[in-house]
Every structure is written in structure tokens, then in C-alpha cells.
């Protein structure tokens, strides 16, 4: 599967599995149940409430092997905040693919979102955001890469802000498919995802147990 133009606007849409709808439902639910807290930070003289999507994609997707198109995470988040009548005061987008990033930016702009785009590696953008965002605002960051290529430095940078909620998708599929290869490769994505894991995970144990130990170490 490859990207396709969305018939609604001609901009690119990415292929996703139908499980993406479950993931988006959880994102929407979070935004709905946090509307009360978010509202306290909005209005004249208030610090604001931001949404950050560091792996935003194009903002639209289609379900693999179908002709069904759906909103991607940045559009889901913005629309949910508007529907709650407590819209984010800022939306910050990043993706290493400039074509996809531009598409997401245009789509959010057309919805009237106060959006800013960056472009580059997530770790560098996270560091930039940590130093430039209002430290008194309420922040929500979605970290949803296609694989386990999520450096722990991204989380550390964002978590330096006092009020930061992190919604993180850990790719179980990538861990399942590539565990043996990652385990046998020096400087694999796992070493950036959970530095020091090799000293805490018994790699001689069965793969299922080793993967669980790895995830538990990452959580710690």
C-alpha cells in the first residue's frame, strides 16, 4: 500500500489498518474528558492549551484494501476540541516527510486551526518546543511513530514542561516482527527507545518473555 490522493481535497492520504480507528477513538476520548482542565487555561490573560503531534503524517488516511478515507490524528484532535467547545489555543505539527507535513498543515489551516509546522527529526523538534512553549500552559503531545523509532530524548524534552500530558503509541507490531534483528544489531532503534535495555533484559529467555521484559524496562 502507498499514499493516495484523498478525493475530498486531492492531498495525500496514508494507508492504515482498521485498528487506527480504535486509536483515534482513544485520542478523541482523552480530549473530551480533559475539556474541563483545558478550559481553565483558555481565555484572555491565560497561558493557553496546546496540542503537539510530532509524527503527524498527512492528516488524512485510508483503510488498507478499501476506499474508506478517515481523518488522521491531528484532524481528529482539533475537531474533537472544537466539538467540545474548548478548542486548543495552539497546534504544533511535525513530520520528517515535508510533503505529508504540508498536507496536514493545509488541512488544519482550512479548518481554522491555530497551527504551526516544523519539519525535521522529532528529537530536535521536541527540544525546540521544550524551550519555546509557554511553561505555564497546558500541553498535550501525541507520539505515534510508525515503528519503535521513538528516542527517549523526545519524551525527556517534552516532560521537562510542567503540565505535559503524553499519549504514546508503542508499536507492538514492530517489536514482534523485528525483535530478533534488533536484538542482534548494535545501535538498533531499541537502543534509542530504551537506552541501557541490554543490561536489564535477559536475551536468552524466550522471545515473548524477553519482549515483555523490554517493555517493562522502558516503562520504568
Q: Which grid coordinates are listed for 177? A: 516482527
Residue entry with cell 520528517? 96
Per residue in 25-68, pLDDT (tens digit) is: 999 999 999 999 999 999 999 999 999 999 999 999 999 999 99
Instruction: Residue 201: name the closest of 193, 211, 192 by CA.
Output: 211
Predicted confidence at residue 146, as pLDDT, reads 86
For position 45, what pLDDT does the model report? 96
Specify the pLDDT at position 172. Answer: 92
pLDDT of 1 higher than 80: no
Tell me what the pLDDT averaged over the chain comes to. 96
The helix/strand/coil state of 199 is helix
Distance, in Å, from the CA atom of 165 to the CA atom of 107, rounded to the nearest integer, reads: 24
Split at pLDDT 50, 70, 90, the class of 121 is very high
CA distances, 34 to each of 11, 71, 138 (Å):
31, 21, 11
Instruction: Give the residue from 81, 82, 106 showing the smallest Cα distance to 13.
Output: 106
Paired residues of 164 in beta bridges: 139
pLDDT bucket at 11, cuts 50 / 70 / 90:
very high
The pair phi, psi for residue 184, each rounded to 5°, is -90, -5
Q: Would you state the pLDDT for residue 134?
A: 98
SS3 94: coil
Q: What is the DSSP string of 19-77?
A: THHHHHHHHHHHHHHTHHHHHTT-STT---EEEEETT-TTSEEEETTS--EEE-HHHHH
Q: What integer pLDDT is reported at residue 218 of this predicted model?
A: 97
Average pLDDT over residues 156-175: 96
Side-chain-facing half-sphere of 10: CA atoms under 13 Å: 0
Amino acid at each position: 500500500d502507498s499514499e493516495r490522493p484523498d478525493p475530498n481535497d486531492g492531498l495525500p492520504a496514508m494507508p492504515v489498518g482498521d485498528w487506527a480507528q480504535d486509536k483515534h477513538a482513544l485520542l478523541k476520548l482523552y480530549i473530551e474528558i480533559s475539556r474541563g482542565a483545558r478550559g481553565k487555561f483558555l481565555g484572555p490573560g491565560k497561558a493557553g492549551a496546546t496540542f503537539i503531534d510530532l509524527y503527524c503524517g498527512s492528516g488524512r488516511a485510508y483503510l488498507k484494501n478499501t476506499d474508506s478515507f478517515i481523518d488522521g490524528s491531528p484532524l481528529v484532535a482539533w475537531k474533537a476540541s472544537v466539538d467540545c467547545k474548548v478548542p486548543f489555543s495552539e497546534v504544533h505539527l511535525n513530520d520528517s516527510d515535508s510533503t505529508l507535513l504540508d498536507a496536514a498543515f493545509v488541512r488544519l489551516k482550512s479548518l481554522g486551526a491555530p497551527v504551526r509546522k516544523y519539519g525535521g527529526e522529532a528529537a530536535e523538534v521536541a527540544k525546540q518546543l521544550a524551550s519555546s512553549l509557554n511553561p505555564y500552559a497546558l500541553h498535550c503531545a501525541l507520539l505515534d511513530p510508525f515503528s519503535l523509532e521513538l528516542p527517549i530524548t523526545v519524551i525527556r524534552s517534552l516532560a521537562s514542561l510542567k503540565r505535559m500530558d503524553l499519549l504514546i503509541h508503542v508499536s507492538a507490531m514492530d517489536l514482534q516482527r523485528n525483535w530478533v534483528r534488533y536484538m542482534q544489531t548494535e545501535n538498533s532503534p531499541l537502543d534509542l527507545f530504551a537506552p541501557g535495555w541490554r543490561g536489564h533484559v535477559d536475551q536468552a529467555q524466550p522471545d515473548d518473555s524477553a519482549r515483555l521484559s523490554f517493555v517493562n524496562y522502558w516503562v520504568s
